């Protein structure tokens, strides 16, 4: 049995936290602002319900073996008191976030815990505390190391597929390319993913992906031409009203993950002397929404 804390119980934290609670072989603490009694996750194959044990203050928490960190990258510093209370000898923090800077972003607040980057594959919408609509089957990609294999064991006998990879850098950048292809456009237009089918918007998104791919390659990610074309062509099959994480935040009046997405591309580009003019322009617009 493992003792696990889920820190950030929004759509993503709920999906993975609910699976762990439903297994009934771990001790799960849900670190929340608003308590709820049970999870209700509506998946493509049925409904998952599981009881929820909620904590509302770091003073209630004890050190755990695992922290599933599912807050957004700009919220990490805000949950440092929780991390201080949850981290003990041998704690692993699995970072379930967008972006490519998981280790750099979390390590300053990790209090010596091992930081495990993870790529989350799970489109979902949170309707209420603990109540989430999961729009596709879910999975995680983590490094093929001891911590990654340990995380995979946590989800054994659940429907969460945990893929182990020897190249987490490439997995992170591929996910970022997909996010760059649609998140900024939906946030700036306040329209669903279908907006990327507009010819003018499609051209903007394609050029954003081109900049992201060039920078990612310079960072060492394996991003062949066929991958870039797949990212662009996938946009054509997207449902018109499907949301993105940025669009959900715009409509809720919440800060956007601009720094973790477009900001990350800009910073990496600067390290390699690569100009990213379109990414910079959209980042400036997204930053104005945040202000």
Residue 67: give its domain's CATH number.
3.40.50.720
Give dist(CA 264, CA 223) in Å, integer: 17
**Statement to judge: residues 133 and 111 lie in one domain:** yes
List, as one string, the DSSP characters of 140-186: EEEESSHHHHHHHHHTTTSS-EEEEES-HHHHHHHHHHHHHTTHHHH
Same domain as 31, residue 131: yes
**Chain mean position to CA 54:** 22
Task: Note the pLDDT of residue 174.
Answer: 96
Contact 111, 81 (CB under 8 A): no
Residue at a domain's end among 151, 166, 181: 166
18 and 155 both lie in a single domain:
yes
Same domain for 125 and 200, yes or no, is no
Question: DSSP string covering 67-86, please?
Answer: EEE-S-GGGGGGGHHHHHHH
- CA quadruple 242, 126, 65, 48: dihedral, nearest 10: -90
Confidence (pLDDT) at 233: 77
Q: Is 161 left (phi over 0), alpha (psi -120 to 50) or beta?
A: beta
Task: Check whether residue 70 and residue 39 sit in a common domain.
Answer: yes
What is the CB neighbour count within 10 angstroms for residue 9?
28
**Buried-state track 248-286, b at ≥16 Cβ within 10 A, e below 16:** bbbeeeeebbbbbbbbbbbebbeeeebebebbeebbeeb
> What is the Cα–Cα distance from 171 to 222, expressed in whole angstroms?
9
Instruction: Give the pLDDT confidence score for residue 132 in this predicted structure.
Output: 94
The CATH number that applies at residue 239 is 1.10.1040.10
Q: Are 4 and 26 in contact (CB under 8 A)?
A: yes
Are residues 185 and 75 both part of a single domain? no
Q: Is the four-CA dihedral 104, 254, 55, 24 of positive or negative sign?
A: negative
- In a shared domain, residues 63 and 115: yes
Co-location of 157 and 271 in the same domain: no
The answer to whether 182 and 175 have CB atoms below 8 angstroms apart is no
Chain CA centroid to CA 242, Å: 17
Count up the domains in the chain and report the number.
Answer: 2
Instruction: Return per-residue pLDDT of the chain as tens, 291 residues.
Output: 789 999 999 999 999 999 999 999 999 999 999 999 999 999 999 999 999 999 999 999 999 999 999 999 999 999 999 999 999 999 999 999 999 999 999 999 999 999 999 999 888 889 999 999 998 888 999 999 999 999 999 999 999 999 999 999 999 999 999 999 999 999 999 999 889 889 999 999 999 999 999 999 999 999 998 888 888 777 766 777 888 899 999 999 999 999 999 999 999 999 999 999 999 999 999 999 887
Q: Are residues 17 and 46 in the same domain?
A: yes
Q: Do both 73 and 182 map to the same domain?
A: no
Torsion of CA 99, 102, 104, 109, to 10 degrees: 130
pLDDT at 237: 67
Q: For residue 61, give the 3-state DSSP assignment.
A: coil
Domain boundary among 129, 145, 166: 166
Quickly tell me which residue has 């509506």 as its tokens: 42
Q: Indicate whether 26 and 147 sit together in one domain.
A: yes
90: exposed, middle or buried (Cβ count in 10 Å: 0-12, 13-18, 19+): exposed
Q: Which residues are catalytic?
A: 175
Domain boundary among 142, 166, 190: 166
Q: Verify that 89 and 177 share a domain, yes or no.
A: no
State which residues form the domain around 23.
Answer: 3-166
Reduced to 3 states, what is the DSSP secondary structure of residue 66?
A: strand
How many C-beta atoms lie closer than 10 Å to residue 230's C-beta? 13
């Amino acid at each position: 049995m493992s003792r696990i804390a889920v820190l950030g119980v929004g759509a993503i934290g709920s999906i993975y936290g609910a699976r762990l609670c439903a297994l009934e072989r771990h001790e799960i603490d849900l670190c929340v602002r608003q308590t709820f009694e049970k999870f209700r996750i509506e998946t493509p194959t049925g409904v998952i319900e599981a009881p929820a044990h909620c904590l509302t203050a770091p003073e209630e928490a004890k050190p755990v073996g695992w922290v599933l960190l599912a807050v957004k990258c700009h919220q990490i510093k805000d949950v440092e008191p929780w991390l201080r209370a949850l981290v003990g000898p041998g704690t692993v923090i699995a970072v379930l976030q967008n972006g490519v800077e998981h280790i750099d972003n979390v390590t300053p607040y990790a209090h010596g815990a091992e930081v495990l980057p993870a790529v989350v594959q799970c489109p979902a919408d949170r309707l209420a505390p603990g109540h989430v609509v999961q729009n596709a089957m879910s999975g995680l990609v983590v490094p093929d190391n001891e911590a990654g294999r340990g995380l995979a064991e946590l989800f054994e006998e659940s429907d969460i597929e945990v893929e182990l990879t020897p190249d987490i850098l490439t997995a992170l950048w591929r996910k970022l390319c997909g996010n760059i292809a649609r998140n900024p456009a939906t946030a700036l237009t306040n329209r669903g993913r279908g907006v990327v089918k507009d010819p003018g918007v499609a051209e903007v998104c394609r050029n954003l992906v081109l900049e992201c791919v060039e920078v990612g390659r310079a960072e060492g990610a394996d991003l062949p031409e066929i991958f870039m074309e797949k990212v662009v062509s996938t946009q054509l099959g997207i449902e018109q009203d499907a949301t993105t994480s940025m669009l959900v935040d715009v409509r809720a009046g919440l800060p956007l993950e601009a720094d973790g997405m477009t900001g990350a591309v800009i910073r990496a580009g600067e390290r390699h002397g690569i100009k990213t003019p379109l990414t910079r322009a959209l980042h400036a617009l997204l930053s104005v929404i945040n202000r």
